Amino acid sequence: MINYPKNFIIGAWSLIKGLAVTLKYFFKPVVTLQYPDEKLSMNDSYRGLVGLNPEKCIVCNQCVKICPTACLAIASRQEDKKKTLETFKYNMELCCFCGLCQQVCPTGAIIMTNIYEISVYDRKKFDIDLLNVKKYDEWTDTTVK
Amino acid sequence: MRTDEILAIIKAEFPDAKEETGSDGIVIPKERLLEIARYLKSPPLAFDNLHCITAVDRKEKIELVYILYSIGERHGITLKIYLTLEDLNVASLSELWKSANYLEREVYDLFGVVFLNHPDLRRILNPYDWKGYPLRKDYSHPQLVVKPRL
Amino acid sequence: MLSILHFIWMLIIGLIVLSFLAGSAMFLIWLERKVSAHIQSRLGPMRVGWHGILQSIADTIKLLLKEDIRPVKADKLIWWLAPFFVVVPSVMAFVVIPFGKTLIVKDLNVGILYIMAISSVGVIGIFMAGWGSNNKYSLLGGMRSAAQIISYEIPLILSIIIVVMHANSLSMQKIVAAQSGYWYIFYPNMALAFVVYIISATAEVNRTPFDIPEAESELAAGFHTEYSGMKFAMFFVGEYTNVFIVSAIATTLFFGGWHGYIFPPIVWFLGKTYSIVFILMWAKWTFPRVRVDQLMGFAWKVLTPISLVNLAITGWLLLK
Amino acid sequence: MNMGPQHPSTHGVLSLELRLDGEIVKECTPHIGYLHRSIEKIAENRTYTQFIPYTDRLDYVASMNNNLGYVMAVEKMLNLEVSQRAQYIRVIVAELNRIASHLIAVGTFAQDLGAFATPLFYCFREREKVIDIFDQICGNRLTYNYMRIGGVQFDFPEGISEKIKDFVKYMRPKVDDYDQLLTHNAIFLARSKNIGVLPKELAISYSVTGPNLRASGVKWDLRKDEPYLVYDKFEFDIPVGENGDSWDRYKMRIEEIRQSLRIVEQAIDALPQGEPTVKVGRILKPSSSGTYFRTENPRGELGFYIVGDGSAYPYRLKIRAPSFSNLAVIPELVKGSKIADLVCVFGSFDVLMGEIDR
């Protein structure tokens, strides 16, 4: 019988302590960012969209081989002992951003940029020709102007 | 108990259980599975935990793998059974270890091994009306992912 | 002649109250979003207007433009009527809320009884929504709601009776007038009655920790699962209007209504009411939900005995 | 009644077929497979290195631990010993990920009990700190793909040790906050105490693992009982529950966050210098008639059974997902309870459809 009011008071006290926690955070500064106005800056190691440095590429096909989802495709032509790139297709829809291509590249030609706003209005845009895309900033549709 | 000690005990009890080279597994005939499983579950070995059941398609036969552990005695063992493709029936262990229920359903779903006396043998990962057994080596499906070039 | 003028005055106040009501529900929705956001270390709506204050208007326009989806197998009439049964009683309850000395639509001499009677109609709307949707989740939600509100009416009314006994009147204005000296909350038995009242009122308006008819994580929005567009908005408005009403009643009964110094009465009244609303919101965003049987047990085993004892003590004190 | 696959508290795309008598659950039949991606079949068509990103997608809130389980299984096939530094790094990131994963478990459990989003947001706020650390270490925020066969992808960047130490300091009072907000809350206790009691024997028979097993009173943790990596060098306790009810399962996770913080703190102090990666060939061709390796994941014991035939592709790769076994026991526990309790039990088990359906 004595336990009944005792438990009741303990329970009520525990509820008040819970309220105290939420009230404490009510007056703490917020931790979120107002996304399109304030943006999180990704550090350089962030694995965003794949980018290419065409001058460095030696067309060794390592990146194409390692890619688990087969999203890269290279075409090249032979020009007096030296291969030159003709196309470097990158299918963003398949890409899983694992970073294996960047890791495997012997010359550092293929890099992962720190762009994370990767939604576009047209699906065809995901088929990216890495030789022609100069700046991804213009490619993405997400950025609120 | 160390694995070789367990193997010695089992071999003493069941002479037709063979040790497999290169692994800590033991191969048993499929007729005696239930009997051996009962023995393994009781003391002194006391394997109270059927950790995992899986299968490997070895093209002409299917290898069933049972991984058993004992929480109390802190040891483990791998049981293997070879099934021919003509006769894919094997006794269910779900009366001994309850975890066998889902694990056997998964093997049935993916390999087509039929577990006799299973309480609820339905497909589990694939839709109930799926045709074929996806993890068999000869399984083909028009939309299967192509192997990337190496 | 005088009665015609009085009637026009009533109409004007009524219009003010009605427009206030629409604004108040929207403001409360915005407030709820802001309070919850700050409790959760967020900012909440920020884009429409100053700190998103116009967000609710944008939402209303969106909900008005949305398609009104009706389940094929719904009980058409009941399904269609349910939102009105929820909204109309809560609007009607505004008739007797005293915002100021003269700022009241009609000071009925049975004011508090009228409110209790009217607000009980809302549960029929919820139950109709649950039944009419022809959805099992909704039905469960409707059933829970009926059981819950019937249970919590009793401690709610018992705690109100204590105030009525003190004030010797059922009229809202007279109850306020009785508190021109000390607010009732300063009497210990009244403070206890207030605690019982606020708990029961939380249950009455289906808010966490007693939001079992909605029970987002169990019943997937419960009785209004199948409603969309403006019908859903009506449930929403009904809920927030109810929140305002229970807070306003608490202000009237326990916190001296519009009484206060320096500022005009309306400021005092709204300030007190919104403080109570804030407490309700604060609790909503802190506590988990109780289970159905625990909820009933709490009403019958804890709140009702406490109010009965309180009632007996108050009666003894008054007769002494 | 059909609960799911689109229901707020089925944690993904699980469908529960319920037979109800009013509010009482008479029978519960789970239907799974909505997220089936046949990862095991995909594994047979990928090289050993290529498969690492796929392990991220199993238990997507604890990708590090999945990576770890897989690479260690392959290393066991190759008899490869990784450097001390790599082992310490692995322990640190695995424990940090365990904290992040348990935070989600705690938050969603509170959400299931109806604590509207607030504990969930607090948990996500703290998890964000872990993710920021991972972002710096390995460059991604959810699918880390950090472990490599023979080590880890990158060494720790500059200043990350301080950041992790700051996180440990930041995290400790937050766990106490959860205690105040949830653990001893009267409503929370009423909702989760003595709900879904899982007895010891039943838990073992169903092969329930991880915090759910320990909540039933079995002191079994692979980090202590079959130590892998350098776990035997650290001091930490294994929390064990008493009743095996939902509250115990929740409590295990809160306590494990505390223990993981201890491990991280010790590991970061003892982090040795050296190379993080052992050089292995680009294309691995291990062979084995069946190698099984299991690690302690946040949700239980994650096992990889790999058969290699000496080619670049695994011949067969079986993933023993902890949630798969944990899910199997739930129908038995919820028989005769209310719908609200079903949600509570389900939330307390913290199953994740990503690894059940594979």
Nearest residue in chain C measured CA to CA from A8: C302
Whether chain D has a CB inside 8 Å of the CB on B106: the answer is: yes
Q: Do B65 and D305 touch (CB under 8 A)?
A: yes
What does the H/E/C string look like for A30-98? Answer: CCCCCCCCCCCCCCCCCCCCEEECCCCCCCCCHHHHHCCCCCEEEEEEEECCEEEEEEEEEECCCCCCC
The domain ranges of chain B are: 3-116
Q: What is the pLDDT of residues A95-131, one digit of tens each?
A: 888 888 888 888 888 888 777 777 777 777 777 777 7
User: What pLDDT is attached to residue A106?
Assistant: 84
Q: How many domains does chain C have?
A: 1
Q: What is the pLDDT of residues B13-40, one digit of tens each?
A: 777 777 776 666 788 888 888 888 888 8
pLDDT tier at A137, thresholds 50, 70, 90: low
C192-199 average pLDDT score: 86
Which residues fall within 8 angstroms of residue D22, CB to CB, at 6 or more apart?
Answer: none
Which chains form contacts with chain D, at 3 or more CB pairs under 8 Å?
A: A, B, C
d(CA D168, CA D64): 18
Q: What is the mean pLDDT of chain C?
A: 81
Q: How many domains does chain A have?
A: 1
Q: Is A42 a member of any domain?
A: no
ipTM for this prediction? 0.82
Which chains form contacts with chain C, at 3 or more CB pairs under 8 Å?
A: A, D
Q: Is C94 a member of any domain?
A: yes
CATH code of the domain containing A120: 3.30.70.3270
- Choose, out of A42, A43, A45, A65, the residue to mutate when testing the contact with D (most D CBs < 10 Å): A45
- CA D259, D261, D267, D270 dihedral sign is negative
- Choose, out of D204, D323, D329, the residue to mutate when testing the contact with B (most B CBs < 10 Å): D204
CB B58 within 8 A of CB B111: no
Q: Is A62 a member of any domain?
A: yes
Q: What is the pLDDT of residues A25-44, one digit of tens each?
A: 878 787 778 777 777 777 77
C199-223 average pLDDT score: 78
Q: Is C4 a member of any domain?
A: no
Q: What is the mean pLDDT of chain A?
A: 77
Decide: C and B in contact? Rule: 3+ Cβ pairs under 8 Å: no
D335-353 average pLDDT score: 84
Residue B81 has pLDDT above 60, yes or no: yes
CATH architecture for the domain at B3-116: 2-Layer Sandwich (3.30)
Whether chain D has a CB inside 8 Å of the CB on B112: the answer is: no
Nearest residue in chain A measured CA to CA from B148: A70
CA distance D305 to chain B (A): 8
Could you tell me the two tokens for A135?
Answer: 């700046």
User: What pLDDT is attached to residue D64?
Assistant: 87
Range of the domain at C220: 71-319
User: What pLDDT is attached to residue B132?
Assistant: 79
Nearest residue in chain B measured CA to CA from D209: B51
Q: Is A101 a member of any domain?
A: yes
The size of the B-D interface in CB pairs under 8 A is 97
Residue D238: left if φ>0, alpha if ψ -120 to 50, beta else—which one?
Answer: beta
Range of the domain at A86: 50-139
**CA nearest C138: which of C185, C61, C82?**
C82
Query: In one letter, which amino acid is D164?
Result: I
CB C282 within 8 A of CB C40: no
Choose among C41, C46, C283: nearest Cβ to A31.
Answer: C41
User: What pLDDT is attached to residue B21?
Assistant: 66
- Please name the residue ranges forming H helices in B1-150: 3-13, 33-41, 100-111
Q: Do D9 and C136 touch (CB under 8 A)?
A: no
Could you tell me the two tokens for C135?
Answer: 């959805």
- The full DSSP string for B41-55 is HSTTT---EEEEEEE
d(CA C1, CA C3): 5
Sort out which chain D residues have CB atoms less than 8 A from A47's CB and list them. 139-140
Residue D158 has pLDDT above 50, yes or no: yes
Q: What is the pLDDT of residues C132-159, one digit of tens each?
A: 888 888 888 888 888 888 888 888 888 8
CB-based burial label for A132 (10 Å; 0-12, 13-18, 19+): exposed
Choose among A65, A68, A69: nearest Cβ to B149.
Answer: A65
Whether chain A has a CB inside 8 Å of the CB on D122: the answer is: yes
Choose among A8, A25, A32: nearest Cβ to C39.
Answer: A25
d(CA D269, CA D221): 24
C64-88 average pLDDT score: 82
Neighbour order of strands in the sheet with B18-19: B18-19, B25-27, B75-84, B61-70, B49-57
pLDDT tier at C2, thresholds 50, 70, 90: low
Whether chain A has a CB inside 8 Å of the CB on C43: the answer is: yes
Element (DSSP H or E) covering residue A10? helix A3-26
Choose among A8, A18, A34: nearest Cβ to C286.
Answer: A18
CATH code of the domain containing D250: 1.10.645.10
Q: Is C22 a member of any domain?
A: no
User: What pLDDT is attached to residue A144?
Assistant: 47
Match 């509010």 to its residue by tokens.
D23
Whether chain A has a CB inside 8 Å of the CB on C39: the answer is: yes
Q: What is the pLDDT of residues C219-254, one digit of tens each?
A: 777 777 788 778 888 888 888 888 888 888 888 888
Whether chain C has a CB inside 8 Å of the CB on A8: the answer is: yes
Q: Report B:117-146 residues touching A (Cβ under 8 A).
A: 146
Sort out which chain A residues have CB atoms less than 8 A from D138's CB and list them. 45
Range of the domain at D75: 2-357
Q: What is the mean pLDDT of chain B?
A: 80
Q: How many domains does chain D have?
A: 1
> How many other CB atoms are found less than 10 A from the CB of residue C282?
17
CA distance A128 to chain D (A): 22
Sort out which chain B residues have CB atoms less than 8 A from D225's CB and list them. 74
Q: Do D113 and C288 touch (CB under 8 A)?
A: yes
User: What pLDDT is attached to residue B150?
Assistant: 45
